[in-house]
Amino acid sequence: MKQAKKQQQTQVQQHAPLADAETQLSGQDDEMDMEPAYNEIDRLEQHGINAADIGKLKTAGLCTVLAVLMCTKKEMLNIKGITDQKAEKIYEAASKIETMGYVSGLQILEKRKKIKKITTGSRQFDMLLQGGVESQGITEAFGEFRTGKTQLAHTLCVTAQLPKSQGGGEGKVLYIDTENTFRPERIKQISQRYQVDPQEVLNNIMVGRSFTVDSLSTLITQAAGAMVEEQFALMIIDSIMAPFRVDYSGRGELSERQQVLGKVLSKIQKISEQFNIAVFMSNQVMADPGAGMTYAADPKKPIGGNILAHASTTRLYLRKGKGEQRVCKIFDSPSIPEGECIFQISEGGIIDATD
């Protein structure tokens, strides 16, 4: 597995623009950062859990020891073949490998030093995000159609594979497409901008087409298994609420929709933290009839309600500017102050705005 990950890193760097000797040496020094920061679930076998039960956990999407500890007992018992006695034994074994107790703020600071930043393709956009789209969190971009959400997603598909010295994540990309918007032709155009092999870039993007909420949940479960096998840097969902708007309609199903949405978002957040990957989700907007009563400048708001608002680490509001220009505003973030920037959509993806 480690050999496959090193080969992946080498393949991406081979097609990147030539760097100087110092950059290449620093890339060798960073190899330790490419080692997995998680404990694979197979380690439970060393603590008395049989291989058959471990296989059942993997089928349910629990591929790391931390995933087991993040799983509720109710969810564990829903796995076929896992009894109450087996669940207790699995939790006990996992607790011997991973610690879920209190840690100091200093330890959290050290952990956050491992966070990756993936460039958006625009310097101004990156400055707004304090370096780019970060790992171990969910970045949500919402706005009307033609505001650049999907174009940003396609640009990130390429930049996520670039070397760290170029603002990349040095890993593969997992793209969950719920609206049939993924276009390999755009990936080729953006790859040419960064002087990387388009065929190699496309080969490093795993695309899953989702038609329903159930298929979306299945693809997310499968993502955990893929990330154990190979080095991933980014997961994209374009867009997160599309299947929910179709599968659940009317106020009568709103409560059930929000409960299911909460479970799906919880899965995504756990994967992001376990594998230190960035998650980028696009979202749609709806008109807010009540906003007209308060003289709001823009009556549109993101769909998904408070469930999605609380799950997203950073929320970006995209709106149209003049011509091909677009405006991004920080809608909500725990660490980035309010602000906005102007970027532009080009043949090569997201770029800085030009006059």
pLDDT at 249: 86
Provide the pLDDT for residue 197.
Answer: 97
pLDDT of residue 39: 86
**CATH code reported for the domain at 41-97:** 1.10.150.20
Measured CA to CA, the distance from residue 271 to residue 34 in angstroms comes to 17
Q: What is the pTM of this model?
A: 0.84
Q: For the domain 114-352, what is the CATH superfamily, name and number?
A: P-loop containing nucleotide triphosphate hydrolases (3.40.50.300)
How far apart are the C-alpha atoms of 214 and 181, rounded to whole Å?
19
Give every residue of the chain whose pLDDT is below 50, as ranges: 1-35
What pLDDT is recorded for position 250?
Answer: 84
- pLDDT at residue 354 in the model: 86
What's residue 326's pLDDT? 96
Q: How many Cα atoms occupy the beta-carbon half-sphere of 219 within 13 Å?
A: 21
Cα distance between residue 167 and residue 120, in whole Å? 9
Query: What pLDDT score does 38 carry?
Result: 78
> What whole-number distance in Å separates Cα of residue 116 and Cα of residue 164?
9
Q: Which residue has the tokens 């049939």?
A: 180
CB neighbour list of residue 223: distance below 8 Å, 6 or more residues apart: 174, 176, 235, 271
pLDDT of residue 129: 97
* Domain residue ranges of the chain, discontinuous segments joined by +: 41-97, 114-352
What pLDDT does 279 receive? 98
Helix (H) or strand (E) holding 7: helix 2-14
Q: Is 225 left (phi over 0), alpha (psi -120 to 50) or beta?
A: alpha
